[in-house]
Structure 1
Amino acid sequence: MRDLAAGFGYLLKGQRWVARHGRQYGFGLLPGLITLVLYLAALIALAAWGADFVGWATPFADDWSSPWLGLFRGFLTAVLFALSLLLAVLTFTAVTLLIGQPFYDSLSETVDRDVSPDSTAPESQQPLWRDLWISARDSLRILVRALIWAVLLFALGFVPFVGQTVVPVIGFFVTGFFLAEELAAVALQRRDVQLRERLALLRSRKTLVWGFGTPLGLAFLVPFVAVFLMPGAVAGATLMARDLLGEPIEEGGHREDADPAGAGPHETGAGPLN
């Protein structure tokens, strides 16, 4: 329970950090807004032409009598849209992080400097294109794992009682774990922690990760909320990553604000993280 509360605490501390660093928050919103527009366009297109796609994909049902044809294709259309929504929730963070890699790297690095006792932060030794490639590759690997879980949980959803009670709860914890991994990867990739090592690190303290990622996953189900929480989620995940690696966290920040490159006026005595 202590780790669960600590994970949730890092989520809140991240939101407080960006609330005190308005410039970082403003830049951190841009990738989420871009991703939101792209996803909304895709979902609107699916709503408009999803039924046509299902009809094209099921020509064998053309000769079925009413009402079975309508019920069958209506069910498939609903399933297609539901799976698309689930996929959107699972991939929103990954796509936003990929689009906003330079923004979030800068934000995470600034958080590291702000809470580090010596005001330093690990820096990536890779060129930007290499960081983008590693991020995209690792996100795809995480997406495959998440999709396997999604298909399994979808199938278990048809089991009476269990599918309506236990399975949704498991689904939220699974989603929370993968969300936390994607967000913590921003800080851990700068430290050259590879995907397999990251997963082992997060599994070693699952309750901490669930405390951070599960409430965030629930919040992301509310339309548009993900866009506004993303900058703080990256900040909070950076704090959580430091905890996972045993790095010290200074409870009082060094900066009141900073520019996107991490350089800016220093002010001691910024409010405490908690």
Structure 2
Amino acid sequence: MLNGNFFRGLGYLGEGFGLILQPGLRLFVIIPVLINILLFSLLFFYLGELFSGLIATAMGWLPDWAWLQALDWLFWLLYGAIIVLVLAYGFVMVANLIGAPFYGYLAERCEQHLTGQPIGDDEDWAGIVKDIPRSLWRELQKIAYYLPRALGLLILGLIPVVNLVAVVLWFVFNSWMMALQYVDYPADNHKISFPVLKKMLAERRLSALGFGLPVALAAMVPILNLFVVPAAVCGATALWVREQGSARY
């Protein structure tokens, strides 16, 4: 049974963009955005060459059937969509790994802004530095969850005809993964383990997918994906504040 509200979930990213403009949160948005700009600039050139190579390899696997060759433009689009989804989350994954300590603190300040209640001790920059090992460990857990599933879907996506279904599965999986990725920050601030978080979000799956879908789409848009990460952290925190109390765990 699917619980939650998909359409309510869709609104959390927009709320997150509004929250990152709040004076008390801006500083913890600017620093990760600067990190993302540097990272994106380095990856952009490299991934352009990688994209071309992957497309050429995938197209070379097509059997020499006339009807498949006539649809080569469609397979270009499908392979391109799958690879863009992989690279989009790959960029976000690396950006999150680097900026994780800032995002945890941003989620903490955002929740305090929404509820008016302090979350933990106010340690500012000392707290960010102290939390670096724990934040990196959380990110590695998410990467370990993501990679084998992404690999399986990538293999499916490179099989002609089957990739018609694989593209849809990619969007659903990436939407779920984006929700896990960002709701993990407020959950971590409340000492909720990653396995427990997965169960919690599964009980609000429609809300999680509704939130994750626009995040996944925005992550594929150059320039916008530089700003979507802090907005997603704040949007996920709003989801946590509004919906975690109604889930059973």
TM-score band w.r.t. shorter chain: 0.7 to 0.9
Do 1:98 and 1:132's aligned partners in 2 also have CA atoms closer than 8 Å? no
Partner of 1:90: 89
Distance change in 2, residues 1:243/1:100 (3 Å): same
Partner of 1:266: none
Question: Normalized per residue, which structure has more helix?
Answer: 2
Gaps of 5+ in 1: 55-70, 248-274
Q: Distance in 2 between matches of 1:158 and 1:114?
A: 45
Gaps of 5+ in 2: 62-75
Do 2:12 and 2:235's aligned partners in 1 also have CA atoms closer than 8 Å? yes
Distance change in 2, residues 1:28/1:156 (3 Å): same
Partner of 1:35: 36
Matched letter for residue 205 of structure 1? R
Distance change in 2, residues 1:179/1:34 (3 Å): same
Q: Which has the higher Rg, Structure 1 or Structure 2?
A: 1
Per the TM alignment, residue 16 of structure 1 is displaced from its structure 2 partner at its CA by 2.1
Distance change in 2, residues 1:93/1:135 (3 Å): farther
* Alignment partner of 1:120 is 2:134: no
Distance change in 2, residues 1:23/1:191 (3 Å): closer
Partner of 1:261: none
Distance change in 2, residues 1:178/1:107 (3 Å): same
Distance change in 2, residues 1:135/1:83 (3 Å): farther
Question: What whole-Å deviation, never above 9, does each CA across 1:90-116 have from its counterpart, x for those lacking one?
Answer: 233343334334533343223222221
Distance change in 2, residues 1:121/1:96 (3 Å): farther
Partner of 1:105: 104
Per the TM alignment, residue 241 of structure 1 is displaced from its structure 2 partner at its CA by 1.4
Partner of 1:17: 19
Partner of 1:208: 207
Do 2:82 and 2:157's aligned partners in 1 also have CA atoms closer than 8 Å? no
Partner of 2:69: none
Matched letter for residue 217 of structure 2? L
Matched letter for residue 117 of structure 2? T
**Pairing of 1:82-231 with structure 2 (within 5 A):** 86-116=85-115, 119-123=116-120, 128-129=128-129, 131-164=131-164, 166-231=165-230
Q: Distance in 2 between matches of 1:50 and 1:153?
A: 17
Distance change in 2, residues 1:72/1:13 (3 Å): closer
Do 1:156 and 1:167's aligned partners in 2 also have CA atoms closer than 8 Å? yes
Matched letter for residue 10 of structure 1? Y
Q: Distance in 1 between matches of 2:147 and 2:12?
A: 27
The alignment's C-alpha RMSD in Å is 3.5
Q: Distance in 1 between matches of 2:93 and 2:57?
A: 33
Corresponding residue SS for 2:180: helix
